[in-house]
Amino acid sequence: MNNREWATSLLHPLVAVLVGLLAGAFAIWVVGASVIETYAEMWKGAFGSFYFATNTLTRATPIMLAGLGVALAFRAGFFNLGAEGQMVLGAVAAALTALYLPGPGWLKLAAALFAGFLVGGLWSAVAGWLDAAFKLNLLITTLLMNYIAILFAGYLVTEPFKDTTGSAAIAQTPMIDRAAWLPKLFSGMSLHAGFLIAAVAALLLYIIIRHSAFGYEVRMFGYNPSFAAYGGIVRTRVMLISMLASGGLAGLAGTVEVLGMQYRYIDGALTVPGYAWTGLMACLLANSHPLGTALASLLLAALQTGAMGVERNTEVPLEIASVIQAVLILFVSAKFSYSFWKRRKARESHGTTV
């Protein structure tokens, strides 16, 4: 990529962010608060001190992993909208593994990370298999499987694996043994080793997509499925593997949140903050580029933690963040164009290509 391409690929997301912030300014103005003051509070809430900055990184961790998962699937041309369900199932599997597997702490931790990846990946691969074998629309099945996964995880922690020692009102598993926790990076701060896992995952995914044979297959498939098939790439194989890895990353997102932050699976603790959907937004914002997705995750996480600061110190509610995000994504989507989408549009348009 030369400098000019770099500049244009960066320019569009930046303009989108600006438009989002303008829309946010309008919403703040409608509420009747001071725009500058509100955005100043937002900055302080996100990066105002070392404590707040690490908080932002902590929040970015699951968003980043979920976003990377979505990015991988999008790269291959598969609309995996099931990151939320995959994340929740991965999280619950990791929590149960860490709770019930006998052995030393490091083994529990490793097994839990693996279980989270595997369960999230398998759940996602089921949707891939339904598409590959029975041609069920992947977009719809992944969406519907979210509801099933969330309800199933909710059932697990309200009935068989419910924590009976604490308050009966909260549906959650018992606390995981301290030895199996992901270590904190700084004492007294919320940032945990999951962030490093996410950062490594972003780098790895970047390298795999750009420099490996499988990454080449994925990209080929995303660009032009018929050409890829002609070149001997088996659709089912690419689909199953990329969906497995995609769901696995989403599962890992839930896993690091459980092992590094909450130390148990709490019903709703992953779905209410909307980590998976924010990850999807990050992926859209970065046009499915792995490193870009990581950066966009940081940005969106900063918006959210910043909005919490806004809620604490001004009259503006924290939901302002979701308005800004949505406008930003809407703006990005207007020019969201992969070559395979361009190709489809060219086929559909009323021009000369048909």
Residue 137 in contact with another protein, rule: CB under 8 A: yes
In whole angstroms, what is the distance from residue 294 CA to residue 223 CA? 22
Residue number with CB closer to another protein (176 or 243): 243
Residues in a beta bridge with 184: 192
Taking CB under 8 A as the criterion, the residue among 11, 36, 204, 326 binding another protein is 326
In whole angstroms, what is the distance from residue 299 CA to residue 255 CA? 22
Query: 145-148 contacts: CB < 8 A, separation 24 or more?
Result: 145/82, 145/85, 146/81, 146/82, 146/84, 146/85, 147/85, 148/85
In whole angstroms, what is the distance from residue 176 CA to residue 262 CA? 9
Taking CB under 8 A as the criterion, the residue among 4, 135, 178, 211 binding another protein is 135
Residues 6+ positions from 137 with CB-CB distance below 8 Å: 131
Residue 185 in contact with another protein, rule: CB under 8 A: no
Q: How far is the CB of 208 from another protein (least distance, A)?
A: 20
Residue number with CB closer to another protein (259 or 310): 310
SS3 192: strand
Residue 230 in contact with another protein, rule: CB under 8 A: no
Q: How far is the CB of 3 from another protein (least distance, A)?
A: 27
In whole angstroms, what is the distance from residue 259 CA to residue 112 CA? 8
Residue 136 in contact with another protein, rule: CB under 8 A: yes
Amino acid at residue number 318: L
Cα 175-64-345 angle, rounded to 5 deg: 140
Neighbours of 1 (CB within 10 A): 6
- Of 114-133, binders to another protein (CB under 8 A) are 130-131
b (16+ CB within 10 A) / e for 272-287:
ebbbbbbbbbbbbbbb
Taking CB under 8 A as the criterion, the residue among 36, 151, 200, 234 binding another protein is 151
Q: How far is the CB of 215 from another protein (least distance, A)?
A: 18
In whole angstroms, what is the distance from residue 23 CA to residue 32 CA? 14
Residue number with CB closer to another protein (105 or 225): 225
Residue number with CB closer to another protein (203 or 326): 326
Residue 79 in contact with another protein, rule: CB under 8 A: yes
Residues 260-299 as x/- pattern, contact with another protein by CB under 8 A: -----------------x--xx--x---------------
Taking CB under 8 A as the criterion, the residue among 39, 47, 216, 340 binding another protein is 340
Which residues contribute to the site for another protein (CB under 8 A)? Answer: 27, 30-31, 77-79, 81, 130-131, 134-141, 143-145, 147-148, 151-152, 154-155, 158-159, 225, 235, 239, 277, 280-281, 284, 317, 319-320, 322-323, 325-327, 329-330, 332-337, 340-341, 344-345, 348-350, 354
